[in-house]
Amino acid sequence: MKKIINDPHQVVPEMVNGMVRSYPQIIEKIPNTEAVVRADKDSMKGKVGIVSGGGSGHEPTHAGYVGKGMLSAAVCGQVFTSPTPDQIYEAIKAVNQGNGVYLVVKNYSGDVMNFDMAKDLAAMDDIEVKSIVVDDDIAVENSLYTQGRRGVAGTIFMHKILGAAAQEGASLDEIDKLAHEVLPNIKTIAVALSAATNPEVGKPGFVLKDDEIEFGVGIHSEPGYRREKIKPSKELVDELIDKLDDEMHLSSDKKYACLVNGMGATPLMEQYIFANDVYNKLENFNIKPVFTKVGNYMTSIDMAGISLTLFEIKDDKWLEALNEPVETIGW
C-alpha cells in the first residue's frame, strides 16, 4: 500500500480536519464528533434539517454536499464503516430547528441500523425524525453488507432534491413524501477496473488481472455480477445502459438526469469519453438527458471504475431542484 497518509487509523479525523480547514466558509465540525454541519447556520433557520452520512472513503460524499441548498450535516464514519448512533444523533441535534430532521441513508445493514438507533435517541428527546433508505444500485439483489440493493452514487441526486425542498421551506412530511416519490426513479450500475485499498486493511478488496474488469461492483469492493476482459468504452456503455433499460424502460417520452461518476482513481479523460458514449447510446433511444454531471462524486477511495446513474425526472420541479444553486464543496 502506497498512500499519502500518516497513521492508517487516523485517516478519518485527519481528513475531516483537512476538509473543514480547507472550506471553513462552508462547513464546520460538530464538537467531539467526526460529523460536519453547515457553517452558514442562518440558512438552516426554520427549515427541516437534512442529515446524511455513512462510512468514509466516498469523498466528496457526504461532507462535500453539506451547505446551503443541500445537506445540513453529514456524519463521517470510519473507512467503509457505519458511523455510530451517538455521532448521528449529535448531527441531528446540531441541525434541529424544531421542524424535524430528515435522514438520507444508503442501504447498508450497518447504516440502516445505526441511523434507526439515532432516530430512537432523537424520539426520546422529542425531535421528530423521518428517513429514506436509498437503494439505487441495480447490479445485484443482495450483497455483502446489504439486504436488498446497495445505495450508491444516485444518492447525491436524493441529497440535492431534498436539500432544495428543505431550503424552500418544505415540511418534514412533504420532504418524506418527495423522497419516496423520487427514490424508485434513480438507478445506478458500475464497472470496476481495480478495487479500493482501505488504509486500515492495507491491501485491495479484490484483485483483477491486468486486462480484466468487473461489472456491478459495489462501492466497498462488494462483488459484481461478471468478470471479463476489458472492452472498449462504448461496449461497456452498451451493457450498462441495457441493464438500466431493463429496469427503467427507457423512453423518449420521459426526461432523464444522468450522472457519470468516477470511483476515485479514474481520470476525467476516461469519464468524459465514457460520457460521450452514454450520450451516443441514449440517442438510440431518442433520449437527450436534461441534466448531466461528470466527475468524482461518490468514490470508493482509490478504486478505478465508473458508475452510471439515470434518474427519471417525473416532475419538472425535480429538474428545477437539480438546477438550484448550492454552496457546497462537492456538488
Catalytic positions, please?
Answer: 58, 220
Q: How far is the CB of 239 from a second copy (least distance, A)?
A: 13
Q: Does 6 contact a second copy by CB under 8 A?
A: yes
Residue choice 241, 287, 306, 321 for contact with a second copy (CB under 8 A): 306
Q: Can you read off the three cell numbers belonging to residue 49?
A: 434539517
Q: Does 294 contact a second copy by CB under 8 A?
A: yes
180: Cβ–Cβ under 8 A, 6 or more apart, which residues?
132
83: Cβ–Cβ under 8 A, 6 or more apart, which residues?
34, 35, 53, 54, 55, 75, 76, 77, 111, 114
Q: Does 126 contact a second copy by CB under 8 A?
A: no
Q: Does 56 contact a second copy by CB under 8 A?
A: yes
Residues 204-263 that bind a second copy (CB under 8 A): 210-213, 230, 232-234, 236, 260
DSSP string, 58-98: STTTTGGGBSBTSBSEEEEEEETSPPPHHHHHHHHHHH--S
Residues 174-213 that bind a second copy (CB under 8 A): 191, 193-194, 199, 210-213
Enumerate helices (H) and strands (E) in the chain, giving the number of each. 8, 12
Residue nearer to a second copy on the CB measure, 13 or 148: 13
Residue 134 · residue 185 · CB < 8 Å: no
Q: Does 299 contact a second copy by CB under 8 A?
A: yes
Residue choice 86, 267, 316, 320 for contact with a second copy (CB under 8 A): 267
Please give the residue ranges that form the binding site for a second copy (CB under 8 A): 2-7, 11, 14-19, 21-23, 56-57, 59-60, 64, 79, 191, 193-194, 199, 210-213, 230, 232-234, 236, 260, 264-277, 279, 292-294, 296, 299, 301-302, 304, 306
